[in-house]
């Protein structure tokens, strides 16, 4: 593994997909201009609807559609590997979509995908979320790779289930797009991300939604890149923007050599 730059894009997506596409293109270009070779978009980047059902209207068939075309173009035009946050894809279940991360190579071709497995549910403090009402759960543990490296993936609520990432070992980088609520994010976002980095001795790249949306929902932001020791090496608290940092093979190998926890696993 060589040393290279990765970027986490943070957005405050609107209810208007075309507007969000334009923002995505601008931020991916900004990341590439800062030297990023891999770029991660946040969950729900194409649309944060006023109602959970709004995303049903924008669901695409795998392999075609304006959202997929936009990500392919962004990867190709900027010469990056693009981990496409999530987009709604048709699921075959009435009233439900798949919440899917699509991965595009530098030539714009799709090279991987992952359908979100764990569906967020929360109620309290005048908030209620039930993704299972409008999302069909994925069934397959992701097996992604880019530039000859194994890459782990999860989406938002997945971060609370460490067994998902153990099942993807071995890997060096974990890519996690999210739209954490402000309430749960303030309590657990950084804690969970650092735990996943430490226990897997890997880099974690986490892209978030980060602000107040038209539905009144407030997302936590704090997109960040974490190294294998659990140190936060780049972070954006709120608003749209990009954070960039190195994935350093020397740092990763040093952590794994000095504390060979992965080699000590018994289960």
- pLDDT-based confidence at residue 1 (cuts at 50, 70, 90): low
**Percent of the chain predicted with pLDDT > 70:** 99
Residue 135 pairs in a beta bridge with 97
CATH number at residue 67: 3.60.110.10
CA–CA separation, 45 vs 7, rounded Å?
15
- pLDDT-based confidence at residue 163 (cuts at 50, 70, 90): very high
CA–CA separation, 262 vs 170, rounded Å?
9
- Which are the contacts of 216, defined by CB distance < 8 A and separation ≥ 6? none
Task: Return the pLDDT at 2.
Answer: 82
* Domain count across the chain: 1
Residue 240, number of CB atoms within 10 A of its CB: 21
170-223 pLDDT tens trace: 999 999 999 999 999 999 999 999 999 999 999 999 999 999 999 999 999 999
Residue 183, number of CB atoms within 10 A of its CB: 15
CA–CA separation, 252 vs 201, rounded Å?
7
CA–CA separation, 119 vs 135, rounded Å?
8
135-161 pLDDT tens trace: 999 999 999 999 999 999 999 999 999
Residue 69, number of CB atoms within 10 A of its CB: 13
User: How many residues can be counted in the chain?
Assistant: 267
- pLDDT-based confidence at residue 133 (cuts at 50, 70, 90): very high
- The maximal CA–CA distance of the chain, rounded, in angstroms, is 52
pTM above 0.75, yes or no: yes
Summary mean pLDDT of the chain: 96
| DSSP category for residue 62 | T
Which residue in the block uniquely carries the two structure tokens 């097996």?
A: 143
Return the active site residues: 43, 116, 156
Task: Return the pLDDT at 233.
Answer: 98
Q: What burial class does residue 70 get, using C-beta atoms within 10 Å of its C-beta: 0-12 exposed, 13-18 middle, 19+ buried?
A: buried
CA–CA separation, 239 vs 253, rounded Å?
34
Residue 191, number of CB atoms within 10 A of its CB: 10
| DSSP category for residue 51 | S
CA–CA separation, 106 vs 199, rounded Å?
31
- pLDDT-based confidence at residue 75 (cuts at 50, 70, 90): very high
- Domain carrying residue 66: 3-263
Residue 244 has pLDDT above 80, yes or no: yes
């Amino acid at each position: 593994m060589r040393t290279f730059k990765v970027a986490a894009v943070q957005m405050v997506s609107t209810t208007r997909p075309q507007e969000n596409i334009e923002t995505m293109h601008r931020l991916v270009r900004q990341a590439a201009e800062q030297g990023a070779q891999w770029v991660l978009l946040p969950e729900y980047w194409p649309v944060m609807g006023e109602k959970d059902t709004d995303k049903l209207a924008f669901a695409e068939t795998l392999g075609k559609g304006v959202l997929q075309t936009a990500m392919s173009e962004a990867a190709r035009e900027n010469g990056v590997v693009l981990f496409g946050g999530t987009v709604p894809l048709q699921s075959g279940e009435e009233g439900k979509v798949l919440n899917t991360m699509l991965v595009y190579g530098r030539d714009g071709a799709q090279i991987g995908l992952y359908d979100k497995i764990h569906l967020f549910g929360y109620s309290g403090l005048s908030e209620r979320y039930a993704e299972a009402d409008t999302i069909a759960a994925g069934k397959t543990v992701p097996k992604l790779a880019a530039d000859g490296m194994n890459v782990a993936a999860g989406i938002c609520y997945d971060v609370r289930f460490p067994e998902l990432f153990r099942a993807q070992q071995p890997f060096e980088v974990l890519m996690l797009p999210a739209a954490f609520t402000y309430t749960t994010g303030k309590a657990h976002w950084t804690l969970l991300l650092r735990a996943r980095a430490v226990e897997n001795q890997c880099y974690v790249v986490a892209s978030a939604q980060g602000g107040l949306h038209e539905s009144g929902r407030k997302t936590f932001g704090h997109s960040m890149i974490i190294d294998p020791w659990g140190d936060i090496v780049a972070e954006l608290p709120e608003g749209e923007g990009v954070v960039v940092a190195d994935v350093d093979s020397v740092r990763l190998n040093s952590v794994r050599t000095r504390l060979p926890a992965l080699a000590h696993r018994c289960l």
